[in-house]
Amino acid sequence: MVPVEEVQVLHAHWSSDSITGYINPKFYIDTFSVDRVPCQDPGLKQESKQHSCMMLSSFRFVIGRSPTNSWILGLTQGCNMSTATEMTHDVVPYKLHRLEQGPDVQVKCTRDEAIKYYKQMRTIRVMETTASNLYKSKIIRGFCHLYSGQEAVAVGMEASITPDDSVITAYRAHGWTYMRGISVKGVLAELTGRSSGCALGKGGSMHMYSKNFYGGNGIVGAQVPLGAGIAFAHRYKGEDSVCVTLYGDGAANQGQLFEAFNMAKLWDLPAIFVCENNGFGMGTSAERAAASTAYYSRGDYVPGIWVDGMDVLAVKEATRFAKDYVLKNGPILLETATYRYHGHSMSDPGTSYRSRDEIQEVRQTRDPIGKFSELATSSGLLTKEEIKKMDDEIKKEVAAAAEAAKADPELPPEELYSYIYKNPPANIRVRGCDDTIWGATK
């Protein structure tokens, strides 16, 4: 063991530029007294063996002596492991409506949280890519609305609510279904019409459910009044829970939204209304459909917050603030600025009303998974090797889930009659259905 020495450790604070979104470092130095031990990591190159590994709390650095006799941080990737347990991230500033104070612009993230959020976002992305391929192979039929590009919204919001809180969303529901506790197989089996699906293969893309998740809903904007009702139920039962109600910019001009806002504010319900603004309602841009695209301010007497929906940590902090607010003060409106990579549905190529260059630019500069990966590796929470390992594992898990879903039997025709009536009389028949496939009702 080498005697205790005083060392200076270079730290980095990472933040996103409010204009460009690029990640910028700010460096500072702390001084510690530590023990030095020879580094035994085989990942170090031979010429780097003269360096030492330093153990400081749960941080691990590879250090070497500089010409000025101070210690410098270096060769971090040589040890092939992360170097930090927590980072602080400066988010793009929030925009506020009828609020004097908003969420914190500096958000902390631990290593464990970084692993969790990355895995969740990547799983949703790979699951949606798999669903796209299954649809093109005609294994998934009917409607199919993909969530790729919007993963940070579901993951960030779920990070700040609990299983006792409720969620209701529109028809782009696959990612939220997964985040609300349904397995990848449960989602893919539902999409392929198998009995192991989360709605027994009958709901398909738009109608998936789990505990305290009231589904995707196929009618534009119709879920918003229902969300107000769910929030009312939480208040009526005396529960310390909230309802997160999501809708898109395409639904933001529906009259029923404003009726729901009015009732929620009238009774100060614990309701978080969330406009997932992905820029397009089907093939119409937000600017062509709305006189005001400042959706966070359109609740009038309902306070609102604009948040960068491509930043999982910004969404997490905004949701934390929103939940605390609505439990004390009544409803709030969040606008998450996000983007969808695919078309409105699988029948929409998504390039007739926007260019391929636009989509590619967003993928390169604003992608929620890419941005978070860069942030986590640059700050030392994760290494590129760890991320690659997670990517490989997730691809295998989703592929296995897809094969398992395809292996399940399809629903027999008589299942068309099940779950229509709770206790139907023996001679009941469903108008328009073939009597020859009448089966046992349930």
Residue 383 CA to residue 81 CA, distance in Å, equals: 6
Residue 105 CA to residue 103 CA, distance in Å, equals: 6
Task: Provide mean pLDDT across the span 2-21.
Answer: 47
Identify the pLDDT of residue 413. Answer: 78
Nearby residues of 155 by Cβ (< 8 Å), 6 or more positions away: 117, 120, 121, 124, 179, 312, 315
Residue 201 CA to residue 187 CA, distance in Å, equals: 9
- Over residues 184-198, the pLDDT tens digits come to 999 999 999 999 999
Greater pLDDT, 282 or 164: 164
Domain topology for 91-406: Rossmann fold (3.40.50)
- Over residues 359-399, the pLDDT tens digits come to 899 999 999 999 999 999 999 999 999 999 999 999 999 99
Q: Where are the domains of the chain?
A: 2-81, 91-406
High-pLDDT (> 90) share of the chain, %: 67
Task: Provide mean pLDDT across the span 331-345.
Answer: 93
Task: Provide mean pLDDT across the span 29-54.
Answer: 43
Task: Provide mean pLDDT across the span 48-61.
Answer: 38
Identify the pLDDT of residue 227. Answer: 99
Task: Provide mean pLDDT across the span 34-58.
Answer: 41
Whether the per-residue pLDDT at 340 is higher than 50: the answer is: yes
Judged on CB neighbours under 10 Å (0-12, 13-18, 19+), 303 is buried
Whether the per-residue pLDDT at 41 is higher than 70: the answer is: no
Residue type, 166: S
Confidence label for 411 from pLDDT (cuts 50, 70 and 90): confident
Nearby residues of 231 by Cβ (< 8 Å), 6 or more positions away: 166, 242, 243, 245, 264, 269, 270, 271, 331
